[in-house]
A and B are shown apart, each in its own frame.
Chain A
Amino acid sequence: NAGVMQNPRHLVRRRGQEARLRCSPMKGHSHVYWYRQLPEEGLKFMVYLQKENIIDESGMPKERFSAEFPKEGPSILRIQQVVRGDSAAYFCASSPLGSNDRGLGWPLHFGNGTRLTVT
Chain B
Amino acid sequence: QKEVEQDPGPLSVPEGAIVSLNCTYSNSAFQYFMWYRQYSRKGPELLMYTYSSGNKEDGRFTAQVDKSSKYISLFIRDSQPSDSATYLCATPANAGNNRKLIWGLGTSLAVNP
Contact = CB atoms under 8 A, between A and B. Distances in A.
A119 to B, nearest CB: 20
A104 B100 contact: no
Contacts of B101: 35, 43, 45, 108
Q: Which 9 A-B pairs have the closest CB atoms?
A: A110-B43, A48-B99, A107-B46, A43-B103, A99-B97, A42-B105, A45-B100, A99-B99, A104-B98
A52 interface: no
Given A91-B44, A112-B42, A107 B49 contact: yes
Chief secondary structure at chain B's binding surface: strand
Interface in A75-116: 91, 93, 95, 98-99, 104-108, 110-113
Give chain B's interface residue range (CB within 8 Å of chain A): 20 to 34
B7 interface: no
Give chain A's interface residue range (CB within 8 Å of chain B): 20 to 34
A48 B98 CA distance: 10
B46 A108 contact: yes
A31 B99 CA distance: 9
Nearest to B36: A110
B96 A113 contact: no
